[in-house]
A and B are shown apart, each in its own frame.
Chain A
Amino acid sequence: MGRITKVIAGWALGLSALASCEDKEQPIAFPHAKHVALKMECVSCHTGARDQTHAGIPWIHSCTPCHRLDRPFPKTPPELLEYINAVKEIPWLQVHRAPRHVYFSHRRHVAVAGIDCAECHGDVQSMDRPFSRPMFPAGQAGMDRCIDCHRKERVTTDCLACHR
């Protein structure tokens, strides 16, 4: 009986791991590539990515300074216009999430260590859609990835430096 329960539990765990890699349908097909081509910086929408622990997810007023009805450029797609007119937040789905027992700070990696966003988030400048699944294989960054880089850069590998 115990073995059967374990098999079922293992199967359920496997399923949930798969579910975490499943594509998430974002409310708007935001093209990162177009925005990066216009020389926009990551931090202009993802505020806090440089100087705070968490990188922000843009709110509707990140779009409105450029996407205005009285301007022919840039074009405002109708689905975005709906949110702007209703002054409603776009319900973006969070894709990358650090577990609670890890202290992952963007400031530590971007401002202090000077690591480029692409190092972890990949080739965002050529993405014509928003993230629908985590950048990392199997859906998780994994501690191996952290440790590899920490060893390479001779940064501390003391558990307490990141775990809590």
Chain B
Amino acid sequence: MVRWGMVIDLDKCSGCQACGVACAAESNVAPGSPREAWKGRLIRWLQFLPQAEGTYPNVAAALQPMMCQQCDRPACTYVCPVSATYPNPQGIVAQIYWRCIGCRYCINACPYTTKWFNWWEPQWAGNTAKATNPDVELRQKGISEKCLFCSHRLQRAKERARAERRPLASHEYVPACVEACPTGAIVFGDLEDPQSEVSKLARSPRAFRVLEELGTKPKVIYLKST
């Protein structure tokens, strides 16, 4: 069985934030208003953690891209009373918007704070709602949302492979952030396949997971900058 995972090389990451833009455009994340920003309630599936590297006076700033960590033992799924969020057999932590009742337990349970609640109806200026990605649902007020590893791309890729009666090649399914990264810092693929680039990188001595001690077993793996 496939287990989709991601490796982000913080050495290669230049902090350009192109992945964040690609993510918002692909997943129909509304731009948000100054009021939301002021209240700290802007929704961004892919955020950037500012990091300081080195010791004074030789300090360099870096940004660490943080999206849903797609844990193998996701804290959010244990608390969901309606199974709107659950880990699917391929390791993607699903969020089914129309099942969500908006209790926000999952948002509080997530130690990475990468789940978002729609406190207001998402605002789309003018006709821009019509120009959104038709493959992704537009969310509504009162539900939570998060990165799904662009699972709508997997749906299409799987179907194409099945129609052509061949197995799915892992390069056919690539999330938007991976595609947008100009330095190739983000690598995506099957963690179960020992030959895949992503699982080779995941075994690197530089590899670490965020808040590893919690035992959530994230499938987004970072490579320390040296």
Contact = CB atoms under 8 A, between A and B. Distances in A.
A160 B148 contact: yes
A160 B173 CA distance: 15
Interface in B97-119: 97-99
Interface string B24-57: 0000000000000000000000000000000000
A164 B163 contact: no
A107 B164 CA distance: 11
Interface in B187-226: none
A108 B136 contact: no
Interface string A115-128: 00000000000000
Nearest to A112: B162
Interface in A124-164: 158-164
B88 interface: yes
Nearest to A158: B88
B164 to A, nearest CB: 10
Interface residues of A, number: 16
Given A161-B155, A164-B155, A101 B98 contact: yes
Nearest to B155: A103
A164 B151 contact: yes
Contact of A101 (B89, B137, B159): B137
Contacts of A100: 134, 137-138
B94 A160 contact: yes
A159 B155 CA distance: 11
A127 B206 CA distance: 67
Contact of B136 (A51, A107, A111, A164): A164
Interface string A15-27: 0000000000000
A108 B162 contact: yes
Nearest to B98: A101
Nearest to B153: A164
B152 interface: yes
B152 A164 contact: yes
A105 interface: yes
Nearest to B27: A164
Contacts of B88: 158-160
Given A163-B98, A164-B135, A112 B163 contact: yes
B92 interface: yes
Given A158-B89, A160-B151, A164-B137, A51 B163 contact: yes
Contacts of B162: 108, 112
A70 B190 CA distance: 61
Nearest to B139: A101
Contacts of A101: 97-98, 137
B159 A112 contact: yes
Interface string A52-70: 0000000000000000000
Given A101-B97, A103-B135, A103-B152, A160 B92 contact: yes
Contacts of A159: 86, 88, 94, 96, 99
A163 B135 CA distance: 10
A158 B135 CA distance: 18
Interface of A: 51, 100-101, 103, 105, 107-108, 111-112, 158-164
22 contacts: A51-B163, A100-B134, A101-B98, A101-B137, A103-B135, A103-B152, A105-B159, A107-B163, A108-B159, A112-B162, A112-B163, A158-B89, A158-B94, A159-B86, A159-B88, A159-B94, A160-B92, A160-B148, A160-B155, A163-B94, A163-B96, A163-B98
